[in-house]
Amino acid sequence: MPERPAGEFVGDLEGPVATVGADGTVEPLGSPWRVGWAVGAEDRWHVAAQEAAVRTRLVDDMPVVATAMKVPGGDVVQQVAAVTAGARRGVVVEFVNETPVPVSLALAVTGSAKRAGVRGSQLLVGDLTAVELGRVPGGAAAVSDGQVWNEVRSGPPPGDCQASSRAGLAAAVAVLPLARNVPLRVCLPADGGASVLGSPGQVAAGWQAMVAGAASAELPDATAVRAWRRGIPASILAAGGAEPEAAARAAIVLDQVGLPDEADRARAVVADAVERSRPQPEVAVVVLRALASRRLRAGRDSGLAECAGPLVAAAGDRLDRLTLEQAAAGLGVEAPAVARDAPRLLIETPRDSAPGTATGDGLAAAVRDSITFGGDGLAGIEAALDCLAAEAPDHLVVLPALPGDWKGAPLDVRGLATRHGLLSFSVRWHGSRPALLWERVPPTHRPLSPVPLRCGLDQSWQSEAPAGEALLGPGNVA
């Protein structure tokens, strides 16, 4: 699996557009250049990439990055988000001066460029618009050695400028005034095209509205709640990305949280990648589960009839029983003849082999990775889903693995999509005994199958009722 870039993705429904580093540096995907920033305060110039007093976070766990840099008198805050307008895509970067006095803002294009400069209101790399400033800067400079911040400290004059470098070290910078508490927005247009502007706050609100339409989980651990909230937009971004394993993982998550249309975008990425080249064994396993999920959870054609054989062959000894069972179940509906080898393969597959997602107390490590800046945004929600429900052909298990620190705490889950219908449940505690309230809604593509509902908190209990409540025994709860 390719290494994740250092930083966080920002993007839209079509996928990631750029990465934002821990210092707020913005790097458009596929571009050899990046945009950094500095603030001229009362004492000196503060270059974000060189300062220790820089804090970066996601805004409400959405794909909007906020970076605050401490300067005398307070913070200067940068927010970065991807924006779209029709067919145009880009990145909007907003700066707010929260200090009591005006400051200066410098934006620089550095990296690998033969030519860079400032023309009018634009920072240019070659002939492409790297940054549309929306105003003519008060100072501008271009250098051929990459040392652009030295020019900023010297106080560059206004006017157009350009520098060339055979070594690819051309860089340019523009200096703008930044008034107190007045947002200043610039745009990094995708592919150097026309600029498009918007508010990062509005972008975050749009992502939150999309998350609100998915399954919800009020969990005892606040960090797990954050990982859940972060995991849904992270999955939507991965669904439009170029990395097939991440897209396949995202498809499974998006099916489970009730966003099958978004999951289908991810599967399109996966299908294209599989057509172009044979996947690595671990990728083939995840792709099989993603395709089976479409049939089992969304009731849509999975495409397994055409590609299950090659994917099973590519998976080799990485193929686990759960993945094989899910693929066979999907094929059993769509192409029974293709599934005829599944019983033999199930017998030959070791019983202890299983996908590598975390369950139970392993949730904590996955959550930490998920909510860390630049971490794996899908890991936390995958682990949480494993803890909340387990699906089998003939039954459904609520809370198959309860993290130790969840004991005695209430939790509420609404709208999980399973192969046996939508599942909602709550747990309340009466001393050492958990009370379970549940509701199952039939899938839209078929009647509710009369399989029993079980609970990992008390393995002696089960019910086939579509809804109800039960006071469970202490059971397996330590």
pLDDT tens digits, 23-53:
999 999 999 999 999 999 999 999 999 999 9
Main-chain phi, psi angles of 84, to 5 degrees: -135, 150
What pLDDT is stored for residue 450 in this prediction?
78
Q: What is the pLDDT of residues 213-227, one digit of tens each?
A: 999 999 999 999 999
**Mean pLDDT within 164-185:** 98
Residues 6+ apart with CB under 8 A from 394: 451, 452
Q: What's the confidence (pLDDT) of residue 448?
A: 60
Which residues, 6 or more positions from 353, have their beta carbon under 8 angstroms from its beta carbon? Answer: 319, 320, 321
pLDDT band at 340 (very low <50, low <70, confident <90, very high): low
Lowest mean pLDDT, pick from 17-26, 279-288, 364-373, 447-456 = 447-456
How much of the chain exceeds pLDDT 70, in percent?
91
Q: Tokens 């008390």 label which residue?
A: 458
Residue recorded with tokens 């030959």:
348
Predicted pLDDT at 433: 96
pLDDT of residue 2: 43
pLDDT at 391: 93
Tell me what the pLDDT averaged over the chain comes to: 91
Question: Residues 241-295: pLDDT tens digits?
Answer: 889 999 999 999 999 999 999 999 999 999 999 889 999 999 999 999 999 999 9
Provide CB contacts within 8 A for 28, sequence distance 6+. 17, 18, 34, 91, 188, 190
Q: In 3D, which of 441, 377, 437 has the Cα closest to residue 411?
A: 437
- Is pLDDT above 90 for 307? no
Q: Which of 79, 84, 54 is nearest to 69 (CA)?
A: 54
With cut-offs at 50, 70 and 90, classify the pLDDT of residue 336.
confident
Helices 260-276 and 244-256: angle between axes, nearest 10 degrees: 160
Using CA atoms, how far apart are residues 425 and 390, in angstroms rounded to an integer?
A: 14
Contacts of 127 (CB under 8 A, 6+ apart): 192
pLDDT value at position 174?
99
pLDDT tens digits along 389-425: 999 999 999 999 999 889 999 999 999 999 999 999 9
Which of 158-162, 324-328, 360-364, 463-467 is the least confident region? 360-364
**Strands of 128-132's sheet, edge to edge?**
54-58, 65-71, 74-85, 88-97, 184-189, 128-132, 122-125, 115-119, 161-164
Give the residue among 99, 17, 30 at the shortest CA–CA distance from 64: 17
Which band of pLDDT confidence, cut at 50, 70 and 90, is reported for residue 102?
very high
Residue 353 has a pLDDT of: 46
| pLDDT for residue 476 is more than 80 | no
What pLDDT does residue 335 have? 77
Q: Over range 16-20, report the average pLDDT.
A: 96
Helix pair 244-256, 281-298: axis angle to 10 deg: 20
Q: Model confidence at 1, in pLDDT bands (50, 70, 90)?
A: very low
Q: Is residue 356 very low, low, confident or very high in pLDDT (cuts 50, 70, 90)?
A: very low
User: Distance between CA 122 and CA 470 in Å, rounded?
Assistant: 65
What CA–CA distance (Å, rounded) separates 290 from 249?
A: 7
Condensed to tens digits (0 to 9), the pLDDT of residues 421-445 reads 999 999 999 999 999 999 999 877 6
305 vs 459, residue with greater confidence: 459
Per-residue confidence (pLDDT) for residue 88, from 0 to 100: 85
